Structure 1
Amino acid sequence: MAKAFASQGDTTEKKISFTEVGDGLYAFTAEGDPNSGVIIGDESVMIIEAQATPRLANKVIECVRTVTDKPISHVVLTHYHAVRVLGASAYGAQQIIMSDKARSMVVERGQEDWDSEFQRFPRLFEGHESIPGLTWPTTTFNDKMTVYLGNRKVEIMHLGRAHTAGDAVIYVPDQNVMFTGDIVEYHSACYCGDGHFADWGPTLDAIKAYNVDAIAPGRGDALVGEKMVNAAIENTRDFVASTYKPVQKIAARGGSLKEAWDAVRAECDPKFADYAIYEHCLPFNVARAYDEARGLDTPRIWTAERDMEMWEALQG
Structure 2
Amino acid sequence: MPDYGPVPAASVGPALNADGYFVGRVEGNLSSVTDGYYQAMFLATREGVVLVDAPPTIGRNLLRAIDDVTRVTGTPGQVTHLIYSHSHADHIGAASLWGKNVERIGHTETRRLLRRAGDPNRPAPTTTFDDRMVLHVGEERLELAHHGPNHAPDNIFVYALRQKTLMLVDVIYPGWAPFKNLAVSQDIPGWIRAHYIAMSYPWRTLVGGHLGHLGRRADGETQQ
| Distance in 1 of aligned mates of 2:121 and 2:40 | 20
Given the alignment, which residue of 153, 162, 171 partners 2:150? 162
Shift of residue 63 of structure 1?
A: 0.8
Equivalent position SS for 1:137: coil
Residues 265-296 of structure 1 deviation map (CA, whole Å, 9 limit, x = unaligned): xxxxxxxxxxxxxxxxxxxxxxxxxxxxxxxx
Matched, 1:25 2:30: yes
Equivalent position SS for 1:164: coil
Higher-Rg structure is 1
Alignment CA distance shift 1:165-1:198 (3 Å): same
| Distance in 2 of aligned mates of 1:64 and 1:154 | 18
When the two structures are superposed, what TM-score results if normalisation uses the length of structure 1? 0.57
Alignment CA distance shift 1:161-1:232 (3 Å): farther
Matched, 1:103 2:111: yes
Equivalent position SS for 1:218: coil
| Distance in 1 of aligned mates of 2:164 and 2:92 | 25
Matched, 1:47 2:38: no
Given the alignment, which residue of 118, 126, 132 partners 1:138? 126
Shift of residue 66 of structure 1?
A: 0.8
Equivalent position SS for 1:154: strand
Higher strand share: 2
Matched, 1:232 2:219: yes
Letter in 2 for 1:105: L
How does 1:110-121 map onto structure 2 within 5 Å? 110=117
Equivalent position SS for 1:36: strand
Matched, 1:77 2:84: yes
Tell me if structure 2 keeps the 8 A contact 1:168–1:180: yes
How does 1:184-263 map onto structure 2 within 5 Å? 184-186=172-174, 187=176, 189-190=178-179, 191-223=182-214, 228-237=215-224
Residues 230-261 of structure 1 deviation map (CA, whole Å, 9 limit, x = unaligned): 33324544xxxxxxxxxxxxxxxxxxxxxxxx
| Distance in 2 of aligned mates of 1:151 and 1:63 | 21
Higher helix share: 1
- How many residues of Structure 1 are paired with residues of Structure 2 in the alignment? 198
Letter in 2 for 1:82: A
Percentage of matched positions with identical amino acids: 20
**Structure-2 residue corresponding to 1:309:** none
When the two structures are superposed, what TM-score results if normalisation uses the length of structure 2? 0.79
RMSD in angstroms over aligned alpha carbons? Answer: 2.4
Matched, 1:88 2:95: yes
**Structure-2 residue corresponding to 1:262:** none
Given the alignment, which residue of 157, 161, 166 partners 1:173? 161
Residues 116-168 of structure 1 deviation map (CA, whole Å, 9 limit, x = unaligned): xxxxxxxxxxxxxxxx4442111111011111111211111112322101111
| Distance in 2 of aligned mates of 1:160 and 1:150 | 29
Tell me if structure 1 keeps the 8 A contact 2:86–2:155: yes
Shift of residue 61 of structure 1?
A: 1.1
Tell me if structure 2 keeps the 8 A contact 1:42–1:152: no
**Structure-1 residue corresponding to 2:14:** none
